[in-house]
Structure 1
């Protein structure tokens, strides 16, 4: 039989009338039909009510349903091509009452959804489109409180009664008998059922997938880890392990954060995890080293196949950094990514300048200009972040001196992953595939299939010079499920969907675009208060680097403790603290910054002035000693800054350069000049060569007595008196010597 094409006339008819009917039908349903008494999987004829009534329960009613119904499987993917459609799932009695005779019924709407914007409503837990059908299976004779039971409902494809292509709301509704004998609906779950009848011709839509591989790295400056979340994420069942274990041969572009790969290499070599965040001594050996090594090898393998494009180091929040005056860090992260790839063995990985996805898929104009000036040529952006005049998968952006190419990720497909319930776990994600997690992945898969089917049905009849329509799927840091099961569908034969490399989107027809940065994007950035802490940390990092003695950087020309990204450890820690992955974990981010700042403060505290006590000047000018101690393992060069509190009476030199060897102390003689006797106070402070002060100030007390002048006066007076006394004695002796010699002795006697 000749295939029946989806004609343009049919499309116009659909858009003019059926879409409105679908929207109305989705908001309405039909009364429940009494449970048939036939055997399981019997298919009796079920009449449709003439007057539909609303079937959207309130939030309270959804909460009150005693059974949690989770759909875990729906197959086959191309349901219209198979004789049987199977629904599988799990029932859990979350009430405090036993339930009996639990029948799982098919619930179905036979009005197709033809507008992609309406698809998200199907997955809304509070929305119940369609009506309960007569197909059912006995899921359990009884279900005790807290107990769970799996179920499987097989439905003959012909009994679904679906004839037109489109997406239908389908699911399962459970009826059960309560302890009081009443019977009613105890649980429901719906999903999207794409339907393309056999013989219907429609072009296959190209699907290009670019997925970020990033996570917070909470490595402290001393090399320990604040938590074991990263190792957990790389272990089997963890989020990062699940990502790379998905469809390894599919044309997926993995946007890999080099900081995460660097951490994986560190974990693989053995690592320590702190038990107490603030206490480095509490660190104990981690246990995920083998898992990290296996994950690292998988990243290297994917890089070798050309499926890896590097993200900037730490996937820094470029827009937030620019807003805080730290835009240069975004460029530093680009250079560090390239350096890390060479060191970590990521041969074949593409440079981030070839394709860069800013965090959240959005970027403002100043950041785009900065990235363009740094050599970035292509951005991967969400479609909501670019204003274009016609639908396209790529756009030209007039930015800076050279235009940028923007690959546009489909905004509705982004919602498939960003809005899925957080059943997949946290950033670490080490948990078995629970029913909730599998249900979330199934729902995302069905929505992906649904979106691509509608895009294929309404694709241009003549696609133009770029060939097929291409939809770009991009996850982001807010994705709440692992896309493992979702991306696995790309390996299966789906007639309306064809996996293509991201280059296909770049090669598709391009339109002119203009950047848009919504207010909501600003609210989602790293908070300004947090970035103030990062700025303070940056200043401390710069201060610490400025103290390094030229002798410490001689020889190889670089410090010996650079990390694989070619960064000083404190600089790498600062970039990691500015990672967009911290947006969802502000408390841990603040702890990271505080720990890095405390590390630098502790290092600076090991360089200090030793106060030798009171200092006395014995003249108007003199010299006194000051000692600087360096307890670091490397030499430093500091400036000793002195400031007299009474400069008019006591003058001291403002600065003195001092080089202090590692683990040693240096004493320098400092000159001072006093123009009057008295006691003076001098403040002594250490600073870098550029004058940036650090550490506490020391107070020196100097006493000027002018003792030398007084001593000379005293000595002069004493000498004069000595001369006078000697002269008098000498004069007396001369006079005595001149008396007459002929005077008789008797005459000289005194008469009695």
Structure 2
């Protein structure tokens, strides 16, 4: 209770003070929404630094924007840049400064004041300009620099660390740089027709990731993804326009006397920087499939049916432009879908590993119409173990594009080693390892999506390459710039680094195919090759590949019925074996389930069509078994087996020779197999029907057919015939006796001449006896001749029961004038 009173008092005091506080603080901004804190703009954005490298006669110009992100107005805002007059000693010191460590630069290069101050949320542009000669930089090197904004009280509003490369003094010889330009992505499909999401189409647009990479790497304004109006050429995309950071600045920069060097002209007539395209054939196949109607699964992987999509015009345009852009450049290929070769070889999936490499080369040529370089392998993540290397060797590779962790610099080396190093291939053979520089990879992988990030990243790229050149002046070295597989550079950055490669005087662009180990000491400053434990732990797990193996088993069974040894699900399996699933368990399980369902669905399309129960109205008959092949693209070859549940009752005749005469059915066709049945006993019998491959393995669930035999079977006819013979044999003597008595009676009954028309009592009695004997015979004959299953003809109304059906008959009646027989008397025989 006391606590509640205290809280109430605090609330009342606060309510009373609020009006006074509002009056005391004029222009008080409303409180910021805590939920919008992460959406506040960057207080300081550096949009451009020119020139990228500073010469003795250059004019340094820095432009950008400052924003008041506080809730109060600020006065006397000053933007300035400070720099150090001492350059960084090596690349490790450069990295430390970029990470926020090391001393702060103290020399002020230039400053400017924002007139009128800034209200909350207000922004203002700024320009800093200074002559390079006034910076007192004396020698070639990289100098730390910071651009910052402070208020009138000297408090920091925002700061950006960057570098100022200076090319004055004694410049080193250029360092060769070879570019590897990645066109890669994670697998986009599960089965061949179903995409896991809709992001690929967006990525192919002019401003999409793959769209920007293609147009920037092409370095050709004619390569454009913008849709052209009829009769008009496509306008250049934004990424194809020259980067402002590479343009000459007023009063100095690229046109001063020290801007020379390899490729420093920067004119429209300058040759393009050599680029080797590293492509994932699985991605090319995914894009190519978009050019026809396809299906897309829900983004959350829900069990809803995939949505039907029309063919993608963006995919068609991208492929057309890619064929033009890559036609004159070198192309190297990863395994299909970047399959995890190391994991496949470790888990006895060697055939999949070989297929991934071979299918990769075939897919590049099929989709792009040009071959990939088979001599240069691109292992997953740039890591190489011995089994993977030996597999690549068997497939024709002698060179390997690696990351630095696979062949790091030796511990005693204090400089950046050359990219090319000899690689022992065993049995006296020697190949080449081309090792990408990890520092450049990190710089290129920087986030350049926000405003101003591209300018700072480009300065960092220039600084890194300048430090490499300054490490060992006078030596010939080449570095490989190889961005990550999922590289997603911001607008203008990808184009900017290529232009910087052409204009920076300490860089000499070279073709990757020309990078070779030189000299007897080549490669001695590197260790390895190594396959660290972290690399083996990162491979696809055995439990995951066991799931893939289960699917492969069903695929093998499906393939066994296809003609021409087709393997339509092999690309889908390789997509499941991609290195992309190492860290994406949720989506990989969705892909596994989808492929398993697709295999099962296609297997079920080769089937026996169920039929209605069959009635066999005679001892033998023929039925037709209808087999369907609902696959649209494949001819199948199968065998049919039929098994009677009771062969003694229902026998199945010969209908197919599974070895000499398998059943072949074309795409979308059906065929009927005619089977002769023989019923030995009437009744219902089940027939089990199965489809098999030519090896006898069942390929579908069994079907059952009910056959009801209602006609006389063979055994029944034999039994009935034997019974009839016994009956005839037993009744013949009796019938003969009756026939003789009848003849004698008839003869005795003939009247003498002249007595016609008279009849004695004895004649009347004989007539009665004769009539009674004829009714029994007829009756016996009628009973014995009834058809099986039929009832004797019913008696007419009021008809007297025949004597033979009564208790006792003519043969059992007592003689005339005697007593009647007792109930124990036997029936007449």
TM-score, scaled relative to structure 2: 0.66
Q: Is the CA contact (8 Å cut-off) linking 2:277 and 2:329 kept in structure 1?
A: no
Distance 1:338 1:480, change over 3 A: closer
1:322 deviation in Å? 3.0
1:730 aligns with 2:736: yes
Q: Is the CA contact (8 Å cut-off) linking 1:397 and 1:514 kept in structure 2?
A: no
Instruction: Report the secondary structure of 1:515's partner residue.
Output: coil
Question: Which position in structure 2 is the counterpart of 1:320?
Answer: 343
Distance 1:632 1:369 in 2: 39
Distance 2:649 2:64 in 1: 89
Question: Which position in structure 2 is the counterpart of 1:44?
Answer: none
Q: Is the CA contact (8 Å cut-off) linking 2:338 and 2:579 kept in structure 1?
A: yes
Selected match of 2:277 from 254, 260, 266: 254
Distance 1:665 1:66, change over 3 A: closer
1:602 aligns with 2:601: yes
1:146 deviation in Å? 5.0
Distance 1:191 1:664, change over 3 A: same
- Which runs of structure 2 are paired with 1:662-701 in the superposition (5 Å)? 662-667=668-673, 669=675, 685-691=690-696, 693-698=698-703
Selected match of 1:373 from 394, 398, 404: 394
1:86 aligns with 2:57: no
Question: Which position in structure 1 is the counterpart of 2:215?
Answer: 245
- Which runs of structure 2 are paired with 1:50-65 in the superposition (5 Å)? none
Distance 1:393 1:688 in 2: 54
1:193 aligns with 2:193: no
Gaps of 5+ in 1: 1-61, 425-433, 560-567
1:626 deviation in Å? 4.8
1:724 deviation in Å? 1.0
Instruction: Report the secondary structure of 1:245's partner residue.
Output: helix
Selected match of 1:385 from 394, 406, 427: 406
1:334 aligns with 2:309: no
1:473 aligns with 2:481: yes
Distance 2:42 2:593 in 1: 46
1:610 deviation in Å? 3.9
Instruction: Report the secondary structure of 1:506's partner residue.
Output: coil
1:416 aligns with 2:443: yes
Distance 1:444 1:640, change over 3 A: farther
Instruction: Report the secondary structure of 2:515's partner residue.
Output: helix
Distance 1:628 1:346, change over 3 A: closer
Instruction: Report the secondary structure of 1:79's partner residue.
Output: coil
Distance 2:496 2:316 in 1: 26
1:100 deviation in Å? 4.3
Question: Which position in structure 2 is the counterpart of 1:212?
Answer: 182
TM-score, scaled relative to structure 1: 0.72
Q: Is the CA contact (8 Å cut-off) linking 1:217 and 1:230 kept in structure 2?
A: no
**CA offsets 1:550-578 (integer angstroms, 9 cap, x no match):** 4xx5xxxx98xxxxxxxx66433443444
- Which runs of structure 2 are paired with 1:340-355 in the superposition (5 Å)? 340-344=363-367, 346-347=369-370, 349=371, 351-355=372-376
Instruction: Report the secondary structure of 2:61's partner residue.
Output: strand
1:250 deviation in Å? 0.2
Instruction: Report the secondary structure of 1:304's partner residue.
Output: coil
1:520 aligns with 2:537: no
Distance 1:715 1:649 in 2: 19
- Which runs of structure 2 are paired with 1:26-41 in the superposition (5 Å)? none
Gaps of 5+ in 2: 1-36, 220-271, 753-759, 766-815, 818-829
Distance 2:292 2:624 in 1: 48
Deviating more after overlay: 704-713 vs 371-380 = 704-713
1:506 deviation in Å? 1.8
1:475 deviation in Å? 1.5
1:500 deviation in Å? 1.6
Higher strand proportion, which one? 1
Q: Is the CA contact (8 Å cut-off) linking 2:572 and 2:595 kept in structure 1?
A: yes
Instruction: Report the secondary structure of 1:210's partner residue.
Output: strand
**CA offsets 1:290-311 (integer angstroms, 9 cap, x no match):** x545543443334332343344
Selected match of 1:119 from 94, 97, 101: 94
Q: Is the CA contact (8 Å cut-off) linking 2:619 and 2:714 kept in structure 1?
A: no
Distance 1:666 1:118, change over 3 A: farther
**CA offsets 1:570-618 (integer angstroms, 9 cap, x no match):** 4334434444456676655554444444333322222333444678999
Q: Is the CA contact (8 Å cut-off) linking 2:376 and 2:401 kept in structure 1?
A: yes
Distance 1:408 1:640, change over 3 A: same
Q: Is the CA contact (8 Å cut-off) linking 1:445 and 1:489 kept in structure 2?
A: no
Distance 1:611 1:223, change over 3 A: closer
Distance 1:239 1:740, change over 3 A: closer
1:107 deviation in Å? 3.8
Question: Which position in structure 2 is the counterpart of 1:18?
Answer: none
Question: Which position in structure 2 is the counterpart of 1:77?
Answer: 52
1:456 aligns with 2:469: yes
Question: Which position in structure 2 is the counterpart of 1:637?
Answer: 637
Selected match of 2:507 from 494, 497, 502: 497
Question: Which position in structure 1 is the counterpart of 2:266?
Answer: none
Instruction: Report the secondary structure of 1:339's partner residue.
Output: helix
Question: Which position in structure 2 is the counterpart of 1:719?
Answer: 725
Distance 1:191 1:721 in 2: 121
Selected match of 2:310 from 270, 274, 285: 285
Distance 1:139 1:688, change over 3 A: farther
**CA offsets 1:249-279 (integer angstroms, 9 cap, x no match):** 1012112334444555555x56556485777
Distance 1:740 1:686, change over 3 A: closer
Question: Which position in structure 1 is the counterpart of 2:104?
Answer: 130
1:230 aligns with 2:229: no
1:152 aligns with 2:123: no
**CA offsets 1:371-422 (integer angstroms, 9 cap, x no match):** 111111211111221367674422333346654321111223222234x23x
Distance 1:320 1:703, change over 3 A: farther
Q: CA RMSD for the aligned pairs? A: 4.7
Distance 2:679 2:713 in 1: 14
Distance 1:208 1:631, change over 3 A: closer
Number of residue pairs aligned between Structure 1 and Structure 2: 645
